[in-house]
Chains A and B, each alone.
Chain A
């Protein structure tokens, strides 16, 4: 039982790390939360001499939750302004003006 809980906690923790790194917003809360819950259970079902590893897992899962929360609060959704895209937009506008003037000549 203890081992299964620890293994599952590690798996969900790893999944949480992946989701915290990837730009997937609050999704990381789910695996990180499960990892924390499983590690807490593992901590209490473990004998007093075997609580060190579940305790480390608990701390790591909690830090993972904190990182996901910090990312949500402090990392703003911004769009990178790209010179190339701006130039393409300007070019598209110039092309449009020419095309519209050609079209007016057909009227």
Chain B
């Protein structure tokens, strides 16, 4: 009873925080951020894959969309052992970053999965079409919160948070959809920290901790992201802890930001 009341209060607090702190869109087309992904193997960080985040405009006959994409590809030396070619894409409103379409195309060591979520105009429904490996195509309808976003949009939304009004220790709540389920995601603002990057040199960054009600992320304050504390808000370092190990994603190239 006490526990559920606490959860409710926390929920109200988080929603309140999200409404209080405005999000200022500042994502432009033709941005390209390239990262090197490392995995902690036998006590050492080993470079495993390249992750590319890019944006471009897509025009239809009636509207313009910002196409956000996150691409993960193993380095050539790993391809013979465990090849990864993952593509996560989202088509969003250029101003509000509200998603209309999310696509996921995964190839991981022979395993394939495709997903397409269409955010219907009623704002409460996502139509999903999924296919795993050689399985049948499945269609589903998922009821969502009007503010629910996909994981790609979530990454870009982090760059639009106005950190100047947030105190260390405060949370910001997001609702995301992944694997056809809605998950609450909490972003904790830990504070400012200066870190060294290979491309940008020493950078003052906002340090954030990501947590969610899912078994895909492990530990408290073990999934961290550092975003440059300037107007560009470039994610320059990510540390993650997942059930199969820990790793790091470091920025290696920036263009168009």
Chains A and B come from one and the same complex: yes
Interface residues of B: mostly helix, strand, loop or mixed?
Answer: strand
The residues of B that contact A104 with a CB separation of less than 8 Å are: 60-63
**Given A77-B50, A103-B100, does the pair A23, B77 have CB atoms closer than 8 Å?**
yes
Within 8 A of B (CB), among A64-107: 75, 77-80, 82, 85, 88-89, 92-93, 95-97, 99-101, 103-104, 106-107
Q: Is A45 among interface residues, defined by CB-CB distance under 8 A?
A: no
B79 touches A80 (CB 8 A): yes
| A80 to B73 alpha-carbon distance, docked (Å) | 9
The residues of A that contact B36 with a CB separation of less than 8 Å are: 77
Interface residues as binary, B92-125 with A (CB distance below 8 Å gives 1, 0 otherwise): 0000000011010100000000001010110000
Q: Which of B41, B47, B58, B78 contacts A93 (CB 8 A)?
A: B58
B42 touches A27 (CB 8 A): yes
Q: Is B75 among interface residues, defined by CB-CB distance under 8 A?
A: yes
**Given A103-B101, A104-B63, does the pair A23, B121 have CB atoms closer than 8 Å?**
no
The residues of B that contact A25 with a CB separation of less than 8 Å are: 44-47
The residues of B that contact A95 with a CB separation of less than 8 Å are: 103, 116
**Given A23-B77, A77-B75, A80-B79, does the pair A96, B91 have CB atoms closer than 8 Å?**
yes
The residues of B that contact A24 with a CB separation of less than 8 Å are: 41-42, 46
A79 touches B50 (CB 8 A): yes
Which size bracket describes the interface of A in this complex? 20 to 34
**Given A88-B87, A100-B65, does the pair A23, B118 have CB atoms closer than 8 Å?**
no
Interface residues as binary, B31-75 with A (CB distance below 8 Å gives 1, 0 otherwise): 000001000011111110010000000101111010100010111
Interface residues of A: mostly helix, strand, loop or mixed?
Answer: helix
| A45 to B63 alpha-carbon distance, docked (Å) | 79
Q: Which of B60, B105, B121 contacts A92 (CB 8 A)?
A: B105
The residues of B that contact A101 with a CB separation of less than 8 Å are: 60-62
The residues of B that contact A93 with a CB separation of less than 8 Å are: 58, 67
Which size bracket describes the interface of B in this complex? 35 or more
Most B Cβ at <10 Å: residue of A27, A75, A95: A27
B58 touches A97 (CB 8 A): yes
The residues of B that contact A106 with a CB separation of less than 8 Å are: 120-121
The residues of B that contact A99 with a CB separation of less than 8 Å are: 101, 116, 118
B116 touches A23 (CB 8 A): no
**Shortest distance between the CB of A29 and any CB in chain B (Å):** 9
The residues of B that contact A85 with a CB separation of less than 8 Å are: 73, 85
| A75 to B71 alpha-carbon distance, docked (Å) | 23
Interface residues as binary, A24-47 with B (CB distance below 8 Å gives 1, 0 otherwise): 111100100000000000000000
| A107 to B122 alpha-carbon distance, docked (Å) | 9
**Given A23-B78, A25-B44, A89-B87, does the pair A96, B101 have CB atoms closer than 8 Å?**
yes
**19 pairs of residues in contact across A and B, judged by CB atoms under 8 Å:** A22-B81, A25-B45, A25-B46, A26-B44, A27-B42, A27-B44, A77-B47, A80-B76, A80-B79, A88-B105, A89-B71, A97-B58, A100-B58, A100-B65, A101-B62, A103-B100, A104-B60, A104-B62, A107-B121
Interfacial residues, chain A to chain B (CB-CB below 8 A): 22-27, 30, 75, 77-80, 82, 85, 88-89, 92-93, 95-97, 99-101, 103-104, 106-107
